[in-house]
Amino acid sequence: MASKTEKVLSILKLQPVVPVLIVDDAKSAVELARALVAGGLRAIEITLRTPAALDAIKAVAAEVEGANVGAGTILNSKDYEAAVKAGSTFIVSPGIAPGVLAAAADSAVPLLPGTATPSEVMTLREAGYDVMKFFPAEQAGGAAMLKAWSSPLAGTFFCPTGGISLKNAKDYLSLPNVVCVGGSWVAPKELVAAGDWAGITKLASEAFALKA
């Protein structure tokens, strides 16, 4: 488990913001990923919320140099296995379920499991996880909640996702128990639809600059 923790941390530490993408067209995923990588965002999460998601992961993994493509919205072991087969380098779930944890235990590809309560954090700590997703971040108490957790749940690190934007990202990134944040604002639907890859690279660069 320690090696898997190191693996997922090394990916999350590449940048302050991990793009969380809903991809409707696998063909556009490669150009989108290249635009994000050009802006400094190399770890990219493609959520399994559309029929195109697995094909998009496969294409990005094969064709985008420098990208670490992960799969999000993993709800069961079948999703996990399909995402790994498509080429995902990390897996993200919105919560925890026995099937997902079992699949993660059997796989070399690390899991970033979702949590929203101290009890879920404690459950995952018992299972060997030190790095987790906090979701949905804003609705679950925001940066104030994570700040309150930092002492009683010391040694646990988070990637908060949900309701985070350029405006409030630094509230999270300033916390000692936050590794990075997840956000969809770096790839707005209208820019993707228009093929405005330069515009997306600009947003990615602004997000990457939050690291400073």
Please give the backbone phi and psi of residue 185, each rounded to the nearest 5 degrees, phi first.
Answer: -70, -20
Q: Which one of 133, 147, 190, 211 is the catalytic residue?
A: 133
Of 45, 58, 138, 147, which residue is the catalytic one?
Answer: 45
Residue 210 placed within a domain? no
Position 126 in a domain: yes
- Predicted confidence at residue 80, as pLDDT, reads 98
Q: Is residue 212 part of a domain?
A: no
* Structural domain that includes position 30: 2-203
Is 209 within a domain? no
Q: Is residue 74 within 8 Å of residue 91, measured between CB atoms?
A: yes
Residue 95, domain member (yes or no): yes
Q: Is 107 within a domain?
A: yes
Output the 3-class SS for the chain: CHHHHHHHHHHHCCCCEEEEECCCCHHHHHHHHHHHHHCCCCEEEEECCCCCHHHHHHHHHHHCCCCEEEEECCCCHHHHHHHHHHCCCEEECCCCCHHHHHHHHCCCCCEECEECCHHHHHHHHHCCCCEEEECCCCCCCHHHHHHHHCCCCCCCEEEEECCCCCCCHHHHHCCCCECCEEECCCCCHHHHHHCCHHHHHHHHHHHHHHHC
| Residue 105 maps to a domain | yes
Task: Please say if 13 is a catalytic residue.
Answer: no
pLDDT of residue 212: 58
Q: Is residue 31 part of a domain?
A: yes
Query: What's 149's domain CATH number?
Result: 3.20.20.70
pLDDT score, position 2:
82
Q: Is 133 assigned a catalytic role?
A: yes
For residue 108, the model assigns a pLDDT of 96
Mean pLDDT for each 10-residue chunk of the chain (212 residues)? 92 97 95 98 98 98 97 98 98 97 97 98 97 98 98 98 97 98 96 97 97 68
Q: How many domains does the chain have?
A: 1
